């Protein structure tokens, strides 16, 4: 049975809960985008080290990293570290957090990945 003061209670509860659910949904979307970017950075590092191990120079490595990861080159940093018959490629990516509300709370993140391979010379 309804009491006289209960009119509109469901509307008020929905109005209070809806913003929390919306922010949680946006946070899940942002996490998904960051996981995707992390996978792309790892893939780009692996492609870069393959090119380096087969005799590619730094320019070819950078091209391979940009092409394989489908990441914006202005946000990428590629470092080649030779040493003892092996080579390591480190890729750093300044990942934007551009989902509304969540991006403003978290800010941009730096994702990095490295891959090491034996030289094939």
**65-98 residue pLDDT tens:** 999 868 888 999 999 998 888 999 999 999 988 8
**37-68 residue pLDDT tens:** 999 999 999 999 999 999 888 889 999 999 98
CB 48 within 8 A of CB 78: yes
For the chain, give every domain's residue range: 8-118
Per-residue confidence band for 11, with pLDDT thresholds at 50, 70 and 90:
confident
Give the angle subtended at the CA of 104 by the CAs of 102 and 106, to the nearest 5°. 65
- Please report the pLDDT score of residue 80 as a whole number: 93
Helix H or strand E segment including 81 = strand 76-83
C-alpha to C-alpha distance for 117 and 89, rounded to whole angstroms: 9
C-alpha to C-alpha distance for 86 and 49, rounded to whole angstroms: 10
């Amino acid at each position: 049975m309804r009491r006289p003061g209960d009119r509109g209670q469901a509307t008020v509860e929905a109005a209070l809960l809806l913003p929390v659910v919306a922010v949680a949904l946006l946070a899940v979307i942002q996490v998904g985008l960051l996981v995707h970017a992390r996978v792309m950075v790892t893939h780009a590092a692996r492609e870069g080290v393959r090119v380096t191990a087969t005799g590619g120079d730094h320019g070819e490595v950078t091209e391979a990293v940009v092409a394989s990861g489908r990441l914006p080159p202005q946000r990428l940093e590629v470092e080649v570290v030779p040493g003892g018959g092996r080579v390591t490629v480190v890729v750093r990516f300044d990942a934007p957090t551009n989902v509304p509300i969540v991006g403003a709370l978290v800010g941009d993140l730096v994702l990095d990945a490295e891959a090491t391979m034996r030289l094939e010379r």
